[in-house]
Structure 1
């Protein structure tokens, strides 16, 4: 007996709906932090200690900012993927149902133009 495949498309949609506001919050957070950092200007100064600090601090700060932005983008892409997957499974189910319904109306009638009729 074949194994039955079941996909909870409503569940996929629910998970996607939860991801959407979270991704938006991360996007807004990253943009806000970026604006605040730009507004501060360059606090390191021009002396050698300031430049040393800047050399260590700036790459780390950018990594945090890029990481936050990246997580937000990943959530948005995952949410889009879940929605597309749910839609694909729903479409496949509808098409399978239509095909099965059409098949049920033509079995045993014979003589159709499909070439499998009685001779």
Structure 2
């Protein structure tokens, strides 16, 4: 919630190590409706902050399961809530577990229309 990213430094480190950016998370959420809250900063790709990153939420669910020992088959990841202009997303990650190990996963979510604009070209 209180992160103030140094976008220039994130871009510099990302270029140096060939990274997309930084994906940060916390399991200390403001609501029990979520298992984690995340933020994604990728300024070297022109993205100051991303509202929803399913490609990162999937590995996060694996980390929560394997490392933090949150033994559940479905995780609800919140993202976008703390952007300058909030754009909240809910990413649901369902794990396929066999014999206590992750064998696959599916990450997805639902987009909600916040506003509609018309652009003349």
Same fold (TM over 0.5): no
Bigger relative contact order (CA 8 A; separation at least 6): 1
Computing the radius of gyration over CA atoms, which structure comes out larger, 1 or 2? 1
- Which structure has more strand as a fraction of its residues? 2
- TM-score bin (small chain): under 0.3
TM-score (norm 2): 0.23
- Which structure has more helix as a fraction of its residues? 1
TM-score (norm 1): 0.23
